[in-house]
Amino acid sequence: MPDASRGPTITSTAITHYGEWNEESRKVPALLFFERYDAMVQACDFSGPYHDWFAPSANFYTNAGATYHSGTDLWNYMKSPTLFGNYEKAIPQDRISTVIINGHEKGDRLIHQQVMVFYPREGKKKGVGIPVRRTIEFVSGPSEVAGQGTNGLQYYIGKTFWDTNVLAAGNNFAVNLLIPSAQVVIIGTTKAYSSTAASGNTTKRYFCPECGSPVCTVVDTKPDLTFVKGGLFRKAGFGLEPPFKEQWCRRSEAWEVAYAPKASRSQ
């Protein structure tokens, strides 16, 4: 009987590092690479080229179901107000990193968890940190293009397992008003950031180009409704009705208490 064909066998070793980076962690190329990448995120400095960190063919998957199929698209997403664009710095706490050497056909797989406290670049919340527990996964390997990357490495695959909407909202919560689109009039200039979920649905998030404040959201599957941000009306002296429904409750923090009736909560 002929031998059955078999795929590649990947032999791997797991290395786990706790706390601050040190000389031991820097002996592991994937950890040293991530340390330098993480320093860039902490400084919220995205002025350099994307290919210092991401391969041109990189794929990135967000918790919200959006997928970015190139290093350029991913870099633009990271710089946008949807993710890190409104923040000037982040302070890390409680790092745990595990590297699986040769854990992927492209190279090493890294799984990292830590609390990051993000500080807004401007506005009345400047100086008030927003804590976020981030869990991310990266696959790093030799640079796709000679001369690019950092220390000869680039990320080919990335995944987020944390609620990136917390940073877009500037808080753990966002209050949305469901308004018929025909009744929504915006005076002034806005910019829009589009993202496509795994389902193929496209969401456009409109924001102020001056301060980055979110204005409204439009989903292509519900064009007759506009999700207007409730926080826009508080300063003008308009009170808001109590919420009648909560969404994304699956991503709630352990300490959160439901406000809306349980029957109206959505996962």
| Strand ranges for the chain from DSSP E | 13-18, 54-61, 67-68, 87-104, 107-120, 130-142, 153-160, 176-180, 191-196, 202-207, 214-219, 225-229
Alpha-carbon distance 112 to 83, whole Å? 18
Model confidence pLDDT, tens digit, residues 69-125: 999 999 999 998 878 888 899 988 888 999 999 999 999 999 998 888 888 877 666
**Mean pLDDT in residue range 230-236:** 70
The pTM assigned to this predicted structure is 0.63
Q: Is the Cα torsion angle 134, 137, 142, 145 positive or negative in sign?
A: negative
Indicate the fold that domain 13-169 takes in CATH: Nuclear Transport Factor 2; Chain: A, (3.10.450)
With 0-12 / 13-18 / 19 or more C-beta atoms within 10 angstroms meaning exposed / middle / buried, residue 82 is buried
Q: What percent of the chain has pLDDT over 70?
A: 77
Residue range(s) in the chain whose domain bears CATH number 3.10.450.50: 13-169
Give residue 243's pLDDT band: very low, low, confident or very high (50, 70, 90): confident
Q: pLDDT per residue over 135-166, tens digit each?
A: 899 999 999 999 999 999 999 999 988 766 66
> Helices marked H in 43-97 — which ranges?
71-79
Tell me how many degrees the CA angle 131-109-40 measures, rounded to the nearest 5.
45
**pLDDT at residue 230, rounded to an integer:** 79
Ramachandran region, residue 8 (left: φ > 0; alpha: ψ -120 to 50; beta: rest): beta
